[in-house]
A and B are shown apart, each in its own frame.
Chain A
Amino acid sequence: MIDERDLITEIEPERYELFEGPTYNFQFDRRDFIKAFGLGIVFIVPMTRVLAQQRGQGESGRGGFNERTPQEIGAWIHIDEDGGVSVFTGKVEVGQNTRTSLTQAVADELHVPITSVRMVMGDTERTPFDAGTFGSRSTPAMAPQLRKAAAAAREMLIAMAAEQLKVEPNDLRIIDARFVNHDKSKTLTLAEVAKGRKLVKVIPDNIAITQPKDWTVAGTSALKVNARDFVTGKHQYTSDMKREGMLYGKVVRPSAFNATLVSAETKAAEAIAGVKVVTDGNFIGVVASDQQTATKAAGAIATDWKAPGQPSNAQLFDVLRKPAAERRGGGEGGGGGARPQGSIADGLAAADKKLEQTYTVAYIAHAPLEPRAAVAEWNGDKLTVWTGTQRPFGVRSELAEAFHVSEDKVRVIVPDTGSGYGGKHTGECAVEAARLAKAAGKPVKLVWTREEEFTWAYFRPAGVIDIKSGVKNDGMITAWEFHNYNSGPAAIQGKYDIPNQLNQYHQSNSPLRQGSYRSLAAAANHFARESHIDELAHAVNMEPLQFRLKNTKDERLREVLQAAAKAFDWGKTKPMTGHGFGISCGFDKGGYLATCAEIAIEKPTGKDAEKKNAKVKIVRVVEAFDCGAVVNPLHLKNQIEGAITMAIGGALFESIQFENGRVLNSRFSDYQVPRFKDVPAIEVVLVGSKGVPSAGAGETPIVGLAPAVGNAIFNATGIRLRSLPMAPKGLAL
């Protein structure tokens, strides 16, 4: 079983995810709810620990909330007069299929079909506060909240129906959205119970929820609930929206990061019919009645910027490591991470073989296919912004701050969004659109170009990881010292039983703006750890799978390792000439995984073949994953396959190139992302047990590929690659 307290320490938030709570906490009274919903029945879930956890405090709830008028609300469910079930949550849908999985949870608990449930998500005026959709928390934290609401609603509705039907409540069940008594002589629909009512019920916190073994709707491969809207092109992403009288915006970008505006010549732009130029400090933008004119007008503005000298790729790892390492002074203090165990000096003294290596990871871009977009509209001093963000309430705070208004004057609405991967936590585009709309006095749409998204969003942190270790000839690891500079603390400590270990994260001054990314630093930390483990196995001449099993007693980790190995036929077949096999394993955010990869070294042929590099082709990947009880096998497998595919880019070729405050590869023609031709045969093995609470699964499956591929490249060539990406220009043999 997962202990919740363990989880909190495991999910140590990156520093850029340490958010303050909102300035107020939905101190609505009952009348507000009734006004907001009209007729029907509302079930309110009082917030307990979820919000406290999200704030990164680890505190166990505020306590003392009044059961009848909750001060903080986690979620609510509304039974509409027509019997429809509306569920309100601050989570957002960015492709991880949370809309579907949360719908399943509610349908399961309420005994209604999936089609009766409508999720209202990510709308700061209609949904309860939520810190954001990140950290794989929707499934473990939000789904149980909604289940509680639905379970309590079910019981209360049954009591109400029993009264209406004049039967005992325990004679009624809900089957397919109908109340039915034992001999089916009396039935009532949800609509018949909700009709004409105007009720708010606060649900008790101690309500029991259905356990995974008894799930009927959850646990099945329900299809994406609004899939039809996507395959027909009907779904309106933010970038597709149109408001009455809407204008189109364009921002004039600085010459480099950290630049300040010296002067701007705007006359030529202002001379274009229908164009309005907006300048405010370092901000220059234009609005026009169509996008072409806005783009043309922005191009007609001549600007002069002053920018400081800034580091480039070549200096990156020194910039990240040197100052932080000097501060550390080689001692065992100062960093963040798990508590040290034993003595590194003793562990090294006991070792037969010692190893010291450095691993690096590059900045990479999320490159969501829908770039940042926002539609902003002012009505008097009230601002509404539609935008694709993972943190609607965070963006609301940003907007309130930027415009010096209180948060209750700002509404942020998040349509289902063209992905995020941790890259859409911020509200840059929303703020810009709102500034333009304020000046124009009309709604304004602003959609970032691909170049803007590649340049002015933020990046997955680059990092340097130093590992010093010792191992005995029998394969027992005796010492492990791990220092991560800049990339982050997520999953910094592995599940290996090493008596003397130290795992620390050290902050650096990042030359580029950096932030969250799918799995945060877990991908970097797993790459370094699992590559180094492989190196240790070779140092003592042990088979890599056996070496791992020898050094961990963690049952769930052993189980995924064995499951992946079995499906891959690990140890039973040898790679063909020019091919290599690699394995890795890990744990993060409640999920365990093991990955086996087969790669092929494709030697160049034809003219000048000897001058060209070989290509690394990933041929086959098997990943075993355990996230506890599986909510939707179809979508879970899709997430795992997607994470493996996305991981190919970071493993082999993705890297932001920058020089003196400018990004040099801000287009898909310069920044390679995985394509159809890069995709191996992928096999996913689900190992979860129904007895273990579900963990989130959108992130952790990404962490295993890079080390498995690196280990496979070593297996094929004897070349050990310790920097991500490993083969941006192929492999010089």
Chain B
Amino acid sequence: MARITTLNVNGKKMTVDIDSTVSLLSVLRNDLSLTGSKYGCGEGQCGACTVLLDGQPIRSCTTQVGRAAGKQIVTIEGLEKDGKLHPLQEAFIKADAMQCAYCTSGMLMSASALLNKNPKPSRDDVISGMNGNICRCGTYQRIIEAIQIATGQINAKEVGK
């Protein structure tokens, strides 16, 4: 079986020695100790494991690590730059867009991919763009608001009004 020996994660070259058929999620969490990406279902239904692969959101639980080799992988750990939170991260805190927060990493990665494609998404755009991510605590309304705070479409002070 093919082995994977290097991965580009969050701008860094990482050395690994992994069977190419292992899930990217498992490699990130267990081999690289990047545990921000979560296991929620193992079938790409909940989005808790979402990472970016060359800018595209993918479900790392159903993606074999072989497919990620040679591509740029961005995980939640790579969203913060030089100690400064991404505007989405700031907005999620301000809008209280989480409860247990287990879905939060995946939500943020899906949202960042959405904004890369569509910098000013309407409410409907956010809903259809984010529909693959489950928040069992039901903070969807907050997450929609947080995304629109990050884009400057609504003011953080309006949240929860």
Contact = CB atoms under 8 A, between A and B. Distances in A.
Given A369-B103, A642-B139, A679-B141, 17 more contacts: A97-B99, A223-B93, A227-B92, A227-B98, A232-B79, A232-B80, A240-B35, A242-B33, A369-B102, A369-B135, A416-B100, A419-B99, A634-B160, A642-B137, A674-B140, A679-B127, A679-B138
Contacts of B144: 676
Contact of A668 (B41, B98, B102): B41
A509 interface: no
Interface string B92-134: 1110101111111100100000000000000000111011011
A644 to B, nearest CB: 7
Nearest to B36: A233
A472 interface: no
Interface in A447-463: 447, 449-450
Interface size class of A (residues with CB under 8 A): 35 or more
- Which are the 4 A-B pairs with shortest beta-carbon distances? A233-B36, A645-B138, A95-B100, A418-B102
Nearest to A231: B89
B66 interface: no
Contact of B140 (A232, A368, A645): A645
Contacts of B53: none
B136 interface: yes
Contacts of A303: none
Contacts of A447: 39
A419 B102 contact: yes
Contacts of A188: none
A646 B93 contact: no
A673 B99 contact: no
B26 A638 contact: no
B134 A668 contact: yes
A236 B102 CA distance: 10
Nearest to A702: B138
Given A635-B96, A676-B126, A291 B35 contact: no
Nearest to A366: B136
* Max count, chain B CB within 10 A of own CB: residue among A221, A234, A638: A638
Contact of A369 (B30, B38, B43, B160): B38
A242 B138 CA distance: 29
Contact of B30 (A228, A291, A682): A291
B93 A227 contact: yes
A371 B39 CA distance: 9
B48 interface: yes
B55 interface: no
13 contacts: A97-B99, A223-B94, A227-B93, A231-B93, A233-B37, A240-B35, A369-B40, A369-B102, A638-B139, A642-B138, A668-B43, A673-B136, A675-B134
- Size category of the B interface is 35 or more
Contacts of A449: 42
A438 to B, nearest CB: 23
Q: Is the interface of B mostly helix, strand, loop or mixed?
A: loop
Interface of B: 19, 22, 26, 29-30, 33-43, 45-46, 48, 75-77, 79-80, 85, 89, 92-94, 96, 98-105, 108, 126-128, 130-131, 133-144, 159-160
Given A224-B93, A227-B93, A231-B85, A682 B39 contact: no
Interface in A84-103: 94-97
A239 interface: yes
Contacts of A684: 160
Contact of B136 (A235, A239, A368): A368
A417 B93 contact: no
B43 A370 contact: no
B138 A644 contact: yes
A233 B134 contact: no
B93 A450 contact: no
A720 interface: no
Contacts of B103: 369
A370 B19 CA distance: 26
A667 interface: yes
Contacts of A638: 96, 99, 139, 142, 160
Interface of A: 94-97, 221, 223-224, 227-228, 230-237, 239-240, 242, 248, 290-292, 367-371, 416-419, 421, 447, 449-450, 633-635, 637-639, 641-646, 667-669, 673-677, 679, 682, 684
Nearest to B46: A668
Contacts of A419: 99-100, 102, 136-137
A730 B146 CA distance: 31
A638 B85 CA distance: 23
A645 B33 CA distance: 33
Contacts of A669: 43, 45
A232 B90 CA distance: 10
Contact of B38 (A370, A416, A642): A370
A673 B41 CA distance: 13
Contacts of B80: 232
B104 A231 contact: yes
B110 to A, nearest CB: 10
Q: Indicate the member of B75, B79, B98, B126 with the most A CB atoms within 10 Å.
A: B98
A233 B105 contact: yes
A643 B58 CA distance: 29
Contacts of A682: 141
Nearest to B48: A369
**Which of A94, A96, A675 lies at the interface centre, i.e. has the most chain B CB atoms within 10 A of its CB?**
A675
A231 B93 CA distance: 8
A95 B138 CA distance: 11
B127 A676 contact: yes
Contact of B89 (A232, A291, A673): A232
A231 B136 contact: no
A110 B158 CA distance: 31
B98 A230 contact: yes
A236 B141 contact: no
Contacts of B42: 449-450
Contacts of B89: 231-232
Contacts of A292: 19, 22, 26
B93 A228 contact: yes
A641 B101 contact: no
A167 to B, nearest CB: 41
Nearest to A237: B102
A232 B26 contact: no
A639 B139 CA distance: 8
**Among B34, B98, B138, B143, residue most surrounded by chain A Cβ atoms (within 10 Å):** B138
Contacts of B131: 675-677
Contacts of B102: 237, 368-370, 418-419
A470 to B, nearest CB: 38
B132 to A, nearest CB: 8
B136 A646 contact: yes
